[in-house]
Amino acid sequence: MEAYAAGAKFDCLLFDMDDTLYPLSLGINLACRKNIQEYMLKKLRIEESQVPRMCLDLYREYGTTMAGLKVLGYDFDYDDFHACVHGTLPYEKVKPDPVLRQLLLSLPQRKIIFTNSDKANAARVLEKLGLQDCFQGIVCFETLNPPPPTETEKNSGGSAGTILCKPSLASMEAVIEIAKLDAERTVFFDDSARNIAAGKAAGFRTVIVGSSALVPGADVALESIHNIKEALPELWEVAAAAAAGDRVDAVLRSTTAVETTVIA
């Protein structure tokens, strides 16, 4: 980390995961929504006719449907919810991405995942993409929402509290504290316009992914995460300068060695 700390304009890259590191077109998002609706219907006993609209409305108002359900007072276990929603996702659609892997490994900055999903889903997706060793940390649901302090609340899944998640400004402030970020030296990549707006409010340089058009609060728009180098070449400048410096040093060492030999 020290190698890029000196002279770098940005020292951390904060990445959303779902629909950012892989395209929305894979259909994981739709499968996830379907599973949430199934959970609402079968586990929470919500009237079937209300489920689709309620699912969408809660997502829009609270950032995630899960957070909205908790605010409305529904009592459920977080782990059970995540197991039902993410446990049967079509992960087979997520394939290794060697191009993105090389891009990430070539970036000199610290790289952190920032996702609303649980740690098991994050680990599964990164493994499927072949990117599990490309990041120095993951800030996920469990990071932002540690278990409540009392045994009673733990057993009930923490129904007395609220869920901290994107796009709230509080979640952005939390990730800054948890990951020890300097917001002005952090680039935030996300596919959600709401998350981008919150990231900009927190002080990040922001990149909307999956869109060729800027959205409010976005500094850069990427059609695909694979376009990072074309859109943000400055992220590689420190590494290039360091490499150039190494070549100059090697030439100087070589020249010095020759001259010393001649003098001797």
Q: Residue 3: is its pLDDT beyond 50?
A: no
User: What percentage of the chain carries pLDDT values higher than 90?
Assistant: 80
Would you kindly state where each structural domain of the chain is located, as residue ranges?
1-23+94-147+159-236, 28-89
Digit-coded pLDDT (tens) for 126-159? 999 999 999 999 999 999 999 876 554 444 444 4
CATH of domain 1-23+94-147+159-236: 3.40.50.1000
Class of domain 28-89 as given by CATH: mainly alpha
Is residue 190 very low, low, confident or very high in pLDDT (cuts 50, 70, 90)?
Answer: very high
- Residue pLDDT, tens place only, 63-115: 999 999 999 999 999 999 999 999 999 999 999 999 999 999 999 999 999 99
Q: What strands, in cross-sheet order, belong to the sheet with 137-139?
A: 137-139, 110-114, 12-15, 186-190, 205-209, 220-222
Question: Is a pLDDT exceeding 80 seen at residue 242?
Answer: no
C-beta separation of 126 from 132 below 8 A:
yes
- The answer to whether the CB of 215 falls within 8 A of the CB of 44 is no
**Structure pTM?**
0.85
Residue type, 126: L
Two domains, one topology: 1-23+94-147+159-236 and 28-89: no
